[in-house]
Amino acid sequence: MFLTPNLGGKRLAEINKENIQVRVRVDNLRTRFFTSKGIVKAIDNLSLNLLEGETYGIVGESGSGKSVTATSIMDLIPDPPGRITRGSIFIDGFNILSGYDKHVRIIAKSETNVKFRRRKRLIRKHNYIISGIRGKKIAMVFQEPFLSLNPVLTIGEQIEEAILLHSRVSIANSIIRRETMARKDVEKFVEGILAQPDISTRKKMINRWVNEFGVPDIERSLNDLFENSTDDSFITEEAFALAEAEKTGINLDQIYTARGYFDLLDRLHETNLQLIEAEATGNEEAVQRFRDEEHELKSALFKEYFSYSIQRRFLKRVYEKPFKDVARRRAIELLDLVNIAGSERVLDSYPHELSGGMQQRSMIAMALSSNPRILIADEPTTSLDVTTQAQILELFKDISRESNMSILFITHDLAVVAEMCNRVGVMYGGNLVEEGTVSSMFKDAKHPYTTGLMNSIPRAERRFDKSQRLESIPGTVPNLITPPSGCRFHPRCKFKMDICSEKKPKLVEIEQGHKVACFLYSDEIEEEIPDDFYVVPKNEETEEKLFNEAEGVTQ
């Protein structure tokens, strides 16, 4: 693993002191899909917090909105037909939805007659901002590996592209460090390691150092060296010789130019984030400062752009090769990390030449390629066997422990939840209906839907008769174009009361850290806020007509 320090997150988070522990905060999220059959109310007033270093599981039946929640957080909802219409999503304290409602105006005359007014310039700017956040801080493993991989590119090309997209500066730095390495760098490193008595910490330090200095091939030898000797001058001598042998003597000028260019790009993005934040808080002075900074960076970039991109165009092979080489080696490392055997072959294979499990693990490798601080994993282990699944889960746990990565883990498999997660949220029909720590959920599930889910798990401890059938919750997930009124679970609920079909229960904390939305446990009612994009009809007659239209289409 190569773990480069995260630069952006800290500063932004500090501005918003309150959120320092919360990696992702979703507030009153509402996502809609405007389809030809009506408006799908896929997510309704969903709030959740993903804390630093925790693994939060989301479970629920198919169609309950798990993937939509995930893609909303990534801001990857396909638009059209989808749109986040309300709420805020803070990633490391930065609201990625700030100004979101200004981008598109939605005018819905009826369920099927919806008009959009887009402001393309704002959307383009927004996409640029988000794509930077997406690469550096947050990454996602998509649910359908086969459909998310590009069928006409090899796995290697795809992973390398992902790596190059986000880590050019760090690659350039490591190449420069390697080529300009002096004896005193090695001395300092050896001193540092020898001062550290703990073996596993040492290993990590060595790992970090070799990646920082672009010499991963000698990691093993260094480990051996430190294991078997304490003589620092001897070690320095050996280590320096090893590192010296790694130098390739490439022309550093190109690397400097490339680094300068991509570094500027990164800094510009950073400044943009700060600017948006300052604008949101209304701090005039900061806004002015960041504006100036942005302007400066832009003009610097303009100059760099010509010198760099023209050179690169004509000397593409020369310019790209050192980067490609590093990217390829990292890709191999990543595939090894996710336990794919024969990584070289896999890199040169097309997706359809791989087994389902290999495709899925390639997706995981791609998501991990940018060392994200937040990982959204949408059913990442469905096509893995149990031993490999255990290894991958172990890998997730390791990374989460080492670099404090937060994971939003979406799955059907309650056994995996039991093993993996700290907290669990149960989703039904676009709402979070229960949330709690794993142990309280499994020991003491409250919501009737959760208990139903728990009962339909096939358990290996039990012997099954051929005639015996599995329990399943009767009925299906509601159609979200016309979701049931009140509690969305009421048509299938065994404990349904009169109030259930009229009012919507609120998600309330009934025990320490355990929240449930059900009238069996509390009387609190959630105010239903109507969507604000419906045009108010002119008179009662049209209203009636519109209503009928909506009903007629969807019933």
Partner 1 sequence: MINEVGDENVILYVSGLKKYFPIYGGLAGVKGYVKALDDVTFALKEGESLGVVGETGCGKTTLGRTILDLIEATEGNVYFNIPREIMRRVISLEEKATSLLEKGKTEEDSEMKDVLKELNPLRKKHSIPRMGGRDLIKLRKYMQPVFQDPFSSLDPRKIVREIIGEPMKVLLKMKTNEILVKEKEIIEEIGLSEDHLYRFPHEFSGGQRQRIGIARAISIEPKLLVLDEPTSALDVSVQAQILNILRDLQSRRGLSYIFISHHLNVIRMMADRVAVMYLGKIVELSSTEELFTDMLHPYTKALLSAIPIPDPEAKISRIVLEGEIPSPSDPPKGCHFHPRCPVAMKNCGWSPRNLSGPLTSMLDPIRNQEAKTIVGVEEIEVDEDGNKLQIIFAESTPVNDRHLQTIRDLVEKESLQKNGVVFKAIKEISLNPEANSVVIEMIQSDTPHLREVRKGHFVSCLLYDYNYYDQETSREESNAPELYSNNQ
Partner 2 sequence: MVDVDAFKTEIAPPRKIHPKVEEMKTTGKLFLTNKLALVGFTITSFYFILAILDAIYPQYLGVANDSTYLSWVPGGTPTTIQPSQLLSPSLTPAGGWMFILGTTFYNMPIFPAMLAALKFDLGYSLAIVMIGGGIGVVIGVISGYMGGIVDEVMMRVTDIFFSVPFLVLAIAFLFVFGHVLSSVVYALIIIWWPIYARLTRGQALSTKAMNYVESARAAGSSKLRNIFVHVLPNVLSPVYVQFSLDLGTIVLIFSTLDFLGIVNGNPNVPELGSLIVAQGNGLSWLIAGYWWPAIIPGIFLLIFTISINLMGDGLRDVLDPKLRR
Ligand X SMILES: Nc1ncnc2c1ncn2[C@@H]1O[C@H](COP(=O)(O)OP(=O)(O)OP(=O)(O)O)[C@@H](O)[C@H]1O
| In the complex, least distance from residue 38 CB atom to partner 2, rounded to whole angstroms | 9
- Is the Cβ–Cβ distance between 375 and 407 less than 8 Å? yes
Q: What's the Cα-to-Cα distance from 359 to each of 63, 157, 158, 338, 410, rounded to whole Å?
A: 24, 14, 12, 11, 18
* Distant-in-sequence, close-in-space partners of 21: CB < 8 Å, separation ≥ 6: 51, 52
Sites for ligand X among residues 462-491 (CB under 6 A): 480
Strand pairing of 114-118 and 38-51? Answer: unpaired
Q: Is 387 in the site for ligand X (CB under 6 A)?
A: no
Q: Residue 31: which of 18, 17, 46, 19 has the closest Cα?
A: 46
- The residues of the shown chain that bind ligand SF4, judged by CB under 6 A, are 447-448, 487, 489-490, 493, 495-497, 500, 505, 518-520
Q: Is 224 in the site for partner 1 (CB under 8 A)?
A: yes
Q: How far apart are CA 159 and CA 363, in angstroms?
A: 9
Q: Is 467 in the site for partner 2 (CB under 8 A)?
A: no
Q: Is 151 in the site for partner 2 (CB under 8 A)?
A: yes
Q: Which amino acid belongs to residue 207?
A: N
Residue 423: CB atoms within 10 Å: 22
Q: How far apart are CA 173 and CA 333, in angstroms?
A: 19
- Of 175-183, 191-199, 298-306, 413-421: span binding partner 1 (CB under 8 A): 413-421
| In the complex, least distance from residue 521 CB atom to ligand SF4, rounded to whole angstroms | 8
| In the complex, least distance from residue 486 CB atom to ligand X, rounded to whole angstroms | 19
Binding test (CB under 8 A) with partner 2, winner from 57, 87, 145, 351: 351
* Distant-in-sequence, close-in-space partners of 365: CB < 8 Å, separation ≥ 6: 159, 331, 334, 335, 337, 338, 340
Instruction: Rank residues 168 and 492 by Cβ distance to partner 2 and give the closer one.
Output: 492
Q: Which two tokens stand for residue 114?
A: 């919806």
Burial of 508 (0-12, 13-18, 19+ CB in 10 A): middle
Which of Mg ion, partner 1, ligand SF4, none has residue 505 at its interface (CB below 5 to 8 Å by kind)?
Answer: ligand SF4
Which of ligand X, Mg ion, ligand SF4, none has residue 63 at its interface (CB below 5 to 8 Å by kind)?
Answer: ligand X
Q: How far apart are CA 378 and CA 392, in angstroms?
A: 14
Sites for partner 1 among residues 424-483 (CB under 8 A): 438-439, 442, 452-454, 456-460, 463-464, 466, 469-473, 476-477
- Of 140-148, 159-167, 241-249, 269-277: span binding partner 1 (CB under 8 A): 140-148
Which of ligand SF4, partner 2, Mg ion, none has residue 404 at its interface (CB below 5 to 8 Å by kind)?
Answer: none
Q: Residue 295: which of 317, 271, 320 has the closest Cα?
A: 271
Q: Which amino acid belongs to residue 200?
A: S
| In the complex, least distance from residue 286 CB atom to ligand SF4, rounded to whole angstroms | 47
Which of partner 2, ligand X, ligand SF4, none has residue 192 at its interface (CB below 5 to 8 Å by kind)?
Answer: none
| In the complex, least distance from residue 114 CB atom to ligand SF4, rounded to whole angstroms | 30
Instruction: Rank residues 248 and 456 by Cβ distance to partner 2 and give the closer one.
Output: 456
- Is the Cβ–Cβ distance between 505 and 517 less than 8 Å? yes
Phi, psi of 242 (to 5 degrees): -60, -50
| In the complex, least distance from residue 246 CB atom to partner 2, rounded to whole angstroms | 40
Which of partner 2, Mg ion, ligand SF4, none has residue 497 at its interface (CB below 5 to 8 Å by kind)?
Answer: ligand SF4
Coil, helix or strand at residue 374: strand
The number of helix segments (H) and strand segments (E) in the chain equals 20, 14
* Distant-in-sequence, close-in-space partners of 289: CB < 8 Å, separation ≥ 6: none
Which of Mg ion, ligand X, partner 1, none has residue 40 at its interface (CB below 5 to 8 Å by kind)?
Answer: ligand X
Q: Is 63 in the site for ligand X (CB under 6 A)?
A: yes
> How many residues contact ligand X, by CB under 6 A?
24
Q: How far apart are CA 109 and CA 118, in angstroms?
A: 17
- Is the Cβ–Cβ distance between 458 and 467 less than 8 Å? no
Instruction: Rank residues 244 and 348 by Cβ distance to partner 1 and give the closer one.
Output: 348
Sites for Mg ion among residues 139-158 (CB under 5 A): 143
Binding mask 211-230 for partner 2 (x = CB under 8 A): --------------------
| In the complex, least distance from residue 204 CB atom to ligand X, rounded to whole angstroms | 31
| In the complex, least distance from residue 448 CB atom to ligand SF4, rounded to whole angstroms | 5
Binding site for partner 1 (CB under 8 A): 60-63, 144, 146-147, 224-225, 227-229, 339-342, 345, 348, 353-358, 361, 379, 382-390, 412-419, 438-439, 442, 452-454, 456-460, 463-464, 466, 469-473, 476-477
